[in-house]
A and B are shown apart, each in its own frame.
Chain A
Amino acid sequence: MYEDGWIPTVCYQCKAECSILAHVQNGIVQEVKGNPRARGKMCVKGMAGITSLYSKERLTHPMKRVGERGEGKFEQISWDEAMEIMETKLRALHEKGEGHKFTYSMFPHSASDPKWRFVNAYGGFISTGLPHCDSGKIMAHLHTFGCFPNHHIAPIYYSVPKDGLMILSGRHPFGCMDDACVAKDILDAKERGAKLIVIDPIFRPEAAKADWWIPIKPGGDASFFLGVCNYLLLNNLYNKEFCDKWVREGDMEKLLDFIVDKTPEKMSSICEVPAADIIKLAKMVAEAPSACIDAFKSIMYGNAMDWGQVWSIFLVITGNLDNPGGQPMPELTPMAPVNPVPTPPDLKELGYHRTGPNREKFDHYNFILEPTWYAAQAIKEGNLKIFFATECNPALSEMGAAAWREAVSMKDDDGNYMLDFFMVSEILPSETMKWADLVLPDQTNYERWELLYMPWWYNYSHGAALCRPVVKPVGEARHTNNVIIELGKHMFPEFFAFKDDVEYYDIELGGVGMSIDKLMENGGMWSPGTAGFYKYKDKKKFDTPSGKIELDWNMYADINQQWPSPELPLEYRKDEEKFPFILVNFRTIFLNNTGAWSHNNAQLRDPVSGLDSNPIMINPVDANKLGISEGDTVFLESATGKVSSIVQLTEKIKPGCIGIIHGFGQTVGQVATLCSSFNDNELIADAGSHLDEQDLRGGEAHVSTRVTIYK
């Protein structure tokens, strides 16, 4: 099964899952690089993936908890015992008719990820970080364009023409979270004459390469682009032909009514970008052959739903949809279903956010997945009983880290944990493990199978990529997909009638006339070779209820939120005196966010090849006023948390903001604990405890946070 040579497979040091080649010699992965048949690049995290694979800290045996949750004390057990523990717990809850109280927190590698299939068969839900990372744009895709609720969809940078505009709004694509080739594609586009515009309160390598850097107030992007749209519409600089043809009747008039007072001058006072610059950008957009905006949520969190809607309005009035250099609308690769497909339970009826005392607050919650940010609250309310976590680290990634810890350790009057059972499967020690009842050793991408075919991130045209085992697994590590398939075979044999993961993927690949063997013989990937442009013209419609683009989100009319608010997130508008700074927590290429592998990867924490600290960044203007000097140890305090670390004075941040890197703070593992660091989610409030401030339309949890800093 294993062979030496350069083997095509897929990286999984982050969720971009780039196609790569692994150089195997004598059964050992020696080197890795991007697969030239795909997009050809692999980033520093990927290159360092070999260190995760062979780290001495790899989890190699199943373990069960012996102390209390949080103590992190375990004893080694057999796989048989581990399987029996899980099955017993799962069966007991299912027999009570409470399958919906089972939640699996994971990154689904595809819509048909075998773990998700099990959860659907069981009647539970999956939860991912998506609701507080990508919800704004996912909801915009759904509501405005009616397309597949895509995950983050970056512009196709290799399609940007000369003079096209590439606008990065609070997004750091050089961090390679979409695909390792993105930085190259952006710089190539620049070389052929496209313009790079970076809107960001911090100056990162993207800004260093930009033709124009626009420092903005965090959360100000909705107002900024409303100002741009106002100028375009009122000065007849928008794409009238496109709008006349494709926008639902009446929506343009309603948009005009809404936007008429969102003047560049007025919007300038919110986003702190001069009105002249808002107008300058509008004029550039009007003249450019194309414009795209790469953004994640709103700039550094904040009002994501508002931002998502403004983003879609901008794209529509400039006609930048599914065109070269605009916003792509990729389609799902048509894999074959593995029948019978289990029907998932009704999220609106049974999701943990809909079964507790706060249920009516979620009446307008339209997001497609269970809100992970509400997990702690759901445990407290008795609506979350069994929690599985794979390839994720909620102890660090959940907002309100303290509330999360409290919830998973909380006991009822009889002394039983409120969360009845907690399983974590991981490759390297994770923070979350400390609270787990059962820890299962997972396999890295070099030891396992996976079929990737989703159109998210930067996958427009490679269609399908195969991750295959290139070396023998370490210790007793088993891929969690196979563990869950085995559970499925015991509990729901009708839905797990296939032999194993390989046969499952083989059936799916039949949808494009492929098989695992054919993929393996042909470089590990299948691709139609084109993403296609203007697909809506072929279809002569958009997949919305009206068949047209729907700018007016009338499903929120009864709460008067059918149009986006230009305001900054609520949290930024209160307690300004007590907490004068806005927290900007950003990502870097050296961390897979809170993912446990990058924390304990020696190369990614090495000062020469990675990042070995997360200092508190402050502009010298602010520091001088506070008497704070470079290297001082300071406290950073929000309304709900407090951390302490070393200060770094830097011109690269807008005064009034404090910058910190997201994804530090792990206290488990020899590498992670070498540097003193802190977790940004200690400062960010738990969502369940301040629901009134949440935007509950699409699932965005406001993680916007104000802080104060002192010595």
Chain B
Amino acid sequence: MKQLSIMVDMDRCIGCKTCVVACRNHHNLVNHRSHMPGEIPFYIKVESQAEGTFPHLKEDFWVSPCKHCKTAPCATACESGAIRKDAQTGIVLIDQDKCTGAKKCIEKCPYDVIQFNAEKNYAHKCNMCYDRVIHGQEPVCVEICLTDALSFGEKEILKMQAQAKGKEIIKKMSSQSIIYVKSAP
């Protein structure tokens, strides 16, 4: 299997949203002149969960881009064959030219990460910065993460790195290409 992945270190993510804005800038998702809050597309989002009662509290932060699923429900749902899982990288890509704007993928994505450009009538989402990674660069979010919480590479190698650092893989959160890790409590 060929699969490029992003590993999210939950010991480090602080939920600062820097990656959200950097990703938007790089992928030209924001019209700086006219976009208003609440209407700007995004490929990655921050989630968090707090537990406990004062003063015994815990909180985790993490990011959630497209998971580049193994058998991607979005690809299966798309009737015009616009979505494919790239054999070389394992990245799930939407071909804008083939996209008819049917929005079937959006209905079927379990992670709600697909954006829709109503003006130009196409679906779009995180492509793991395909344009960068095929030329040897990391995805933008990985490069600029404020706390170096993200790492990028082959899934099996990332898993080994996590193990070497004594971090556990959070199985219930991790998926095909996005791996969540944390130190054992």
Contact = CB atoms under 8 A, between A and B. Distances in A.
Interface of A: 30-34, 41-44, 47-48, 50-51, 53-56, 174, 176, 180, 183-184, 187-188, 203, 205, 207-209, 213, 215, 589-590, 602-603, 605-610, 612, 619, 621, 651-655, 670-671, 674-675
A391 to B, nearest CB: 20
Nearest to A44: B18
Contacts of B35: 51, 602
Interface string B1-45: 000000000011011111011101110101011111110101001
A642 to B, nearest CB: 27
A207 B57 contact: yes
Contacts of A183: 14, 16, 146-147
B32 A619 contact: no
8 contacts: A31-B140, A42-B18, A47-B144, A56-B34, A187-B12, A609-B42, A651-B54, A671-B36
Contacts of B33: 54-56
Nearest to B58: A208
Nearest to A184: B147
Given A42-B144, A54-B33, A183-B147, A603 B40 contact: yes
B106 to A, nearest CB: 16
Interface centre among B21, B30, B40 (most CB of A within 10 A): B21
A205 B54 contact: no
A621 B18 CA distance: 34
A43 B22 contact: no
A203 B21 contact: no
B50 interface: yes
Contact of A602 (B14, B16, B22, B37): B37
A606 B17 CA distance: 11
B184 to A, nearest CB: 15
A174 to B, nearest CB: 5
Q: Is the interface of A mostly helix, strand, loop or mixed?
A: loop
A187 B24 contact: no
Nearest to B46: A608
Given A51-B32, A608-B40, A671-B37, A44 B50 contact: no
Contact of A44 (B20, B61, B148): B20
A586 B116 CA distance: 36
Contact of B59 (A43, A205, A653): A205
A654 B46 CA distance: 26
A504 B58 CA distance: 52
A43 B18 contact: yes
Given A41-B146, A176-B16, 4 more contacts: A54-B32, A208-B58, A609-B40, A652-B54
Contacts of A50: 25, 32
List the 4 closest A-B pairs by CB distance, nearest first. Answer: A54-B32, A47-B21, A208-B59, A605-B37
Given A44-B18, A612-B37, A603 B53 contact: no
A428 to B, nearest CB: 12
B26 A208 contact: no
B164 to A, nearest CB: 13
Q: Range of interface residues on chain B? A: 35 or more
Given A47-B21, A47-B25, A187-B12, A602 B144 contact: no
B147 A187 contact: yes
A44 B15 CA distance: 10
A413 to B, nearest CB: 47
A670 B59 contact: no
Given A32-B25, A609-B24, A652 B146 contact: no
Contacts of B37: 602-603, 605-607, 610, 612, 671, 674-675
A221 B40 CA distance: 42
B38 A607 contact: yes
A674 B20 CA distance: 21
Contact of A603 (B16, B30, B52): B30
Contact of B21 (A41, A53, A180, A603): A603
A573 B45 CA distance: 44
Nearest to B9: A187
Contact of B57 (A44, A651, A675): A651
A435 B69 CA distance: 56
B60 to A, nearest CB: 7
Contact of A205 (B14, B38, B140): B14
B57 A203 contact: yes
Nearest to B54: A651
B154 interface: no
B57 A608 contact: no
A44 B40 contact: no
Nearest to B28: A30
Contacts of B144: 33-34, 41-42, 47
B185 interface: no
B55 interface: yes
Interface in B41-85: 42, 45-46, 50, 52-55, 57-61
A653 B54 contact: yes
A609 B20 contact: yes
Contact of B54 (A47, A608, A610, A619): A619
B158 to A, nearest CB: 17
B143 interface: yes
Contacts of B52: 651
Contacts of B14: 174, 183, 205, 208-209
